[in-house]
Amino acid sequence: MAGLSIDLRYPAGAFVYGMTKPRVTVDGYEVPVHDWGQNYFDVVVGGPHRIEIYVPYALPRRAGRARLDVMVPEQGVALEYMAPSFTFARGSLGAPGQQVSVGHKTTVTVVAMIPALAIFGVALYGLYLRAEQWWG
């Protein structure tokens, strides 16, 4: 039997993922996952396999879906899964150390814009009050 090692990760800001465990299927059969982090599965024989991973969530029901067809050699293979920052985006599955969180830049941009828009709104309101005092 060949081993399959998968490092299951999620971005630091997406702490909600930590409340549940990802689901992993190998060739359509679900395999037990211990938790986020390094997981080893000694359930496959060498050869071609389809690996699918997702995180159970409210909406969508299967967040961060990722699928990879991989040729597993007899000595096994190591993979890495990264859940997305934005739950409606796809997850990233592939070679260790190369997977990035999909939607991370968009999420950071939106979060950074919220205080900027609030400050802009307060400034506009202040200008409105000052103009109202001037014009009576």
Q: Which residues contact 4 (CB under 8 A, 6 or more apart)?
A: 26, 40, 41, 42, 43, 44, 49, 51, 72, 76, 77, 79
- Among candidate residues 6, 38, 34, the one with its CA nearest the CA of residue 21: 34
- Encode pLDDT of 18-74 as tens digits: 999 999 999 999 999 999 999 998 866 889 999 999 999 988 899 999 999 999 998
Q: pLDDT averaged over the chain?
A: 91
Give residue 111's pLDDT: 82
Q: Per DSSP, which regions of 1-136 are E strands?
A: 2-9, 23-26, 29-31, 37-44, 47-56, 62-72, 77-82, 92-94
pTM of the model: 0.78
